[in-house]
Structure 1
Amino acid sequence: MSKQEFKSTSPVGQVRISGAPTPIRRMTTSQQVYNALRDRIVGLELLPGQSLSRVEVTDTYGVSQMPVREAMQKLAEEGLLVIFPQSKTVVSRIDIAHAQETQFLRLSLELEVIRRLALTQDRSFMDEIDVLVARQERALEAEDMVEFSALDHSFHRRMCGLIGVESLWDLVTARSGHIDRLRNLNLPDPGKSASIMECHHRIASAIRAGDPAAGEKAVRDHLSGTLARVDDIRKRHPDFF
């Protein structure tokens, strides 16, 4: 691996239209290594079954072994790495059962988020949502899938933030490594990215119209696509499972 710089991909009750700025927190070296490795695992730069050398990681990021050990241990706890003591560390295979559990959690959260946003009286926040959708459309037109995926994350996280449950989105995201790898395998499929955009438009339209039933239907359609194609994905990438 060549030398790399750290880079982060992650930009109940009343809806929070505004509030205090989010505090800037300094990340530890361990957290930076964790973020960088996790991004590469979820983004399939580091493939399921691939060996990962602690020495090589320390050299790549120019850090000591302690933060690398801590980062790799955290990734192992999330099920993204498998550490064989005194032997080797490998990127885990994709766990379908884990992906299904995470999908259940995310669906439960987002159905309630959409319902509350659709039922709120003040929908001035829709300008912000519309900007995110428009930016994602431009990324799709430019065939910039990295930006497209980042804006997809921002779209859902921001809606959770509007009702004050952004931390719950972060909890779901922290255990989403397996389902996110499935999505990234599915994203290049013809029509997948266009389907995502269609669902985002439907979600935004349902909130604007104050129609929770339409919003919930759009969320179910949006979140069901990848797991519905899991057998096909597994056939095309058998070594990843």
Structure 2
Amino acid sequence: MEYELSSPNVLYVTTYSRIRDQIRQDILNSVFKPGVRLRISELTNRYGVSQMPIREALQQLQGEGLVTLLPQKGASVRKIDENFLSNMYDIRYAIETMLVRTGVEHMTDRDLKEIDLLQEEYEAYVSNRNREAALLVNEAFHRKINGLANNYEAIEIIDRHWGLIDVLRRQFGFSEGRIHSIIDDHRKIVNALKRRDRDLSVRLTGEHVMKAKIDLIERFKQSQR
């Protein structure tokens, strides 16, 4: 069902997404310290919205692992540390390697063309130093590959962390040389997919995720020094 731009449904989703992103950013910027209670009444005053988008945002942030929701106790901020980041990428490793293993069997020539075009678009944005656009296209590249397996439950788990990963990348950046390493990894993955080499595609995907994990943790540790 399609809605007009002024539809209450669209406005609600826009408000909820904006509030979720603002709370997430405030947590990562230590406005809300680890262990702090996130009271609905205080959040509605802070962000100038009703309780409903606040509650929806907290549910989403619980799925990302940033917030803990307990009966009778409400929401509290979870500590972001090296262990949290490591666990997040380990989950991504397990699911993405599973998805690409299955996805190779269902991949069409049209899928390959779309993946190839997304990689070319990513490289163009990197070359133009458009980091925001590059992050979005990088996400689209991985979503396309992950979607080949038609396992929507698994994709939903990964999707919970994409927004958080993008925010962390904006905040901590990349180690020197990592951007070019990403391009090289993507090219190798695309070539393996074109050959329909399932085992190689799985191995390269796993290595790519682990490199991202090591890089982000290192950048995080540097920010804590």
TM-score range, shorter chain: 0.7 to 0.9
| Counterpart selection for 1:236 from 214, 222, 225 | 222
- Displacement of 1:48 after TM fit? 3.5
Aligned residues: 206
Structure-2 residue corresponding to 1:49: 30
Per-residue deviation, 1:101: 2.6
SS where residue 102 of structure 2 aligns?
A: helix
1:150-229 maps to which residues of 2 (within 5 A)? 150-175=136-161, 182-185=168-171, 187-229=173-215
| One-letter amino acid of the structure 1 residue matched with residue 190 of structure 2 | A
Partners in 2 of 1:110 and 1:207 — Cα distance? 14
Q: What is the letter of the counterpart of residue 184 of structure 2?
A: E
Tell me how far 1:129 sits from its aligned partner: 0.8
* Corresponding residue of 2:6: none
Which consecutive unaligned segments of at least 5 residues does structure 1 have? 1-22, 84-88
Q: TM-score normalized by structure 1?
A: 0.68
Q: Are 1:82 and 1:91, in contact at CA under 8 Å, matched by a contact in 2?
A: yes
Shift of 1:127: 0.8
Q: CA RMSD in A?
A: 3.3
Name the structure 1 match of 2:120.
Answer: 134
The whole-number CA distance in structure 1 between the counterparts of 2:108 and 2:68 is 48
Match in the other structure for 2:17:
35
Q: Is the 8 A contact 1:139 1:145 kept in 2?
A: yes
- The 1:98/1:148 distance shift into structure 2, 3 A limit, reads same
Q: Is the 8 A contact 1:48 1:91 kept in 2?
A: no
Letter in structure 2 aligned against 1:57: Y
Relative to the length of structure 2, the TM-score reads 0.73
Corresponding position of 2:82: 96
| Structure with greater contact order relative to length (CA < 8 Å, sep ≥ 6) | 1
| Alignment correspondent of 1:5 | none
Gaps of 5+ in 2: 4-8, 33-37, 70-74
**Per-residue deviation, 1:35:** 2.3
- Percent identity of equivalent pairs: 24
SS at structure 2 position matched to 1:164: coil
